[in-house]
């Protein structure tokens, strides 16, 4: 996962970690663990984040699969 690109998209869309934690229905600590790579995002979480940040398919692949 490319954390820096994800954080860049979050900043671009003015979306906080708290916002995405709420979108995923997880705690901020859980989201932080996923963002730092200690835990993995599920496919459904990747979809929700992609929708929330209006990611293109290419951006989604670049961020989550590289």
Per-position pLDDT tens, the chain of length 66: 999 999 999 999 999 999 999 999 999 999 999 999 899 999 999 999 999 999 999 999 999 997
Tokens of 54: 């209006």
Neighbouring CB atoms inside 10 A of 39's CB total 13
Neighbouring CB atoms inside 10 A of 53's CB total 19
Phi-psi region of 2 (alpha: psi -120 to 50; beta: other; left: phi over 0): beta
**Predicted pLDDT of residue 66:** 76
| Sequence-ordered list of residues with C-beta below 8 angstroms from that of 60, at least 6 positions apart, any chain | 46, 50
How much is the pTM?
Answer: 0.91
Instruction: Tell me how far apart the 2 most distant CA atoms of the chain are, in Å.
Output: 28
């Amino acid at each position: 996962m490319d954390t820096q690109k994800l954080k860049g998209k979050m900043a671009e869309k003015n979306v906080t970690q708290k916002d995405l934690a709420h979108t995923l229905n997880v705690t901020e600590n859980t989201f932080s663990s996923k963002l730092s790579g200690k835990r993995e995002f599920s496919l459904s979480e990747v979809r929700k984040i992609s929708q929330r940040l209006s990611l293109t398919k290419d951006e989604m692949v670049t961020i989550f699969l590289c």
